[in-house]
Amino acid sequence: TYLDNGKLVNWDGKMDEVHSTISTSSEYKPTLLGTVPHMDEPTALGVLNSAVNAYDKGKGDWPTMRVKERIDCMKSFVKHMQTKRTEVVKLLMWEIGKTLPDSEKEFDRTVQYIYDTIDDYKQLDRDSAKFEKIDGINAHIRRGPLGVVLCLGPYNYPLNETFALLIPALMMGNTAVFKPAKHGVLLLSPLLEAFQKSFPAGVINVIYGRGREVAAPIMKTGKIDVLALIGNSTSAIALQDQHPYKNRLRLILGLEAKNPAIILPDADLDLAIEECINGSLSYNGQRCTALKIIYVHDKIKEEFNERFSKRVDELKFGQPWEEGVKLTPLPEPNKPAYIKELIDDAKEKGAKILNKKGGTVTDNYIYPAVLYPVNESMRVYQEEQFGPVVPIKSFNDTQELLDEMARSNYGQQVSLFGKNVDTLAPLIDVLVNLVCRVNLNSSCQRGPDVLPFTGRKDSAVGTLSVHDALRSFSIRTFLASKDN
Ligand code: G3H
């Protein structure tokens, strides 16, 4: 089924099969987990019309609804959602190979995100209720919706990042058409009913299928006011290009990143190594916030490289529910081959694999390779690997390193490891202008979700987080009246 205009519609056309990422046999034998509609263009356009009609150019019931009623819908949704925890957590493990603790965390974090959004929205509304008096004008400022949102979620956080877009969009009075990513697509099914029961018809609609067959035609109609996407720049640009009135289109995009760790000579190496292990390899490095390159100072490179590589080989590979498992199979079937290409390219250009198990391929898995020394000519240096390979480059001069980082196309976050405040302070002053978050003696991450999440250059457009997303998905409007 898909969700259109408040109805769960049975799709009687072609179906796409969804297979598991994990299997319980010793070699990978995917299980058929379920099927989803391979939707066609006319159906997708029909669903779009439901969102357009519910918005009704800003005159619809949802965009004009009183704050309290919209909050009630949101509360009803999160309550229904909470009853589906076991099912969704299981699907996160089977469909995308996320470990049990990480799957549970993703679910609970999403629930919390919704409650925090409700609280922040109440605050926003209270603040808006105040009159501002400026030059004899009483201005009653309020935040209004932007219109119809096309929302596309990623496979690595199919629940949490989807909802980090959808929830603030809906909370602010927009209506939406949502298309999940190819992997992590089934776990939305248990929630369709929760959407249906909690929101008025047409406010949230869910489609399935290929981007070029359903999302592109939707963009082509010119009826989309906001493109909200977490994924890659290629898809984001291709979709924007379809829109006939580009100036009308708002963008909220979470894109690629190549977050570096910088290890200074006085860094606490025990701490830096553990943070870099988690930063580069939790969920197999399939996080936009993952550390995707490590810059280590010449003075400590031997010790760091040796200890870090040893730690990588100690990581436990297994099924997501097994105790202590860090590394799990990869949902994208072509990922091991892609990572292998990056490794081979780096080796041809002079890098070595430092860890014994690095680059070993088994079925739909490739053991993380630590590559050293990498340089700018290598693909692993230029591309966002989004998988288990850790490139390391050494440096001697911090000014040269900053110049090198300034040449990057990305600008999300950086991790900086060191102790001496006199060395750290001037570095931080520059780094905050190259990226949007500097993590001191800790790995990069998106949370806590109340902090702004964004990036410079090709890494993001607009800002997410509980607080910022409500603002990103709305516009300040006001009623002006004169004193009399
Ligand atoms: O893939 C990008 C995610 O926003 C990463 O989130 O840092 O909480 O794992 P995280």
Q: How far apart are CA 401 and CA 404, in angstroms?
A: 5
pLDDT score for 483: 74
Whose C-alpha lies nearest to ligand 1, atom 8? 446
Q: Is the peptide bond before 448 cis (omega within 30 degrees of 0)?
A: yes
Asked whether the beta carbons of 265 and 300 are under 8 A apart, the reply is yes
Integer Cα distance of 446 and 230 in angstroms: 13
DSSP letter assigned to residue 316: P
Work out which ligand 1 atom sits closest to the CA atom of 444.
7
The pLDDT score that the predictor gives to residue 484 is 60
ipTM of the complex: 0.98
Q: Which atom of ligand 1 is nearest to the CA of 161?
A: 4
Structure tokens at 316: 């436990």
Query: Based on C-alpha coordinates, what's the Rg of the chain?
Result: 24
The rounded Å distance from CA 230 to ligand 1 centre is: 11
pLDDT in tens, the chain (484 residues): 999 999 999 999 999 999 999 987 777 888 999 999 999 999 999 999 999 999 999 999 999 999 999 999 999 999 999 999 999 999 999 999 999 999 999 999 999 999 999 999 999 888 777 777 888 898 888 899 999 999 999 999 999 999 999 999 999 999 999 999 999 999 899 999 999 999 999 999 999 999 999 999 999 999 999 999 999 999 999 999 999 999 999 999 999 999 999 999 999 999 999 999 999 999 999 999 999 999 999 999 999 999 999 999 999 999 999 999 999 999 999 999 999 999 999 999 999 999 999 999 988 999 999 999 999 999 999 999 999 999 999 999 999 999 999 999 999 999 999 999 999 999 999 999 999 999 999 999 999 999 999 999 999 999 999 999 999 999 999 899 997 6
Q: Is 279 exposed, middle or buried (0-12, 13-18, 19+ CB in 10 A)?
A: buried
Angle between helices 85-96 and 189-198 (to 10 degrees): 140
Find the 252 Cα to ligand 1 centroid distance in Å.
16
Ligand 1, residues at Cβ distance < 6 Å: 156-157, 161, 287-289, 445-447
Going by C-beta distance under 8 Å and a sequence separation of 6 or more, which residues neighbour residue 445? 279, 289, 439
Per-residue pLDDT, 450: 93
DSSP 11: P
> Which atom of ligand 1 lies at the shortest distance from residue 446's CA?
7
CA of 287 to the centre of ligand 1 (A): 5
CA of 445 to the centre of ligand 1 (A): 6
Helix ranges, 317-369 (H):
335-348
- The pLDDT of residue 101: 98
The protein residue whose alpha carbon is closest to atom 2 in ligand 1 is 288
Angle in degrees, CA 464, 88, 412, rounded to 5: 25
Phi, psi at 99, each rounded to 5° = -65, 160
Ligand 1 atom closest to 283 (CA)? 9
The pTM assigned to this predicted structure is: 0.97
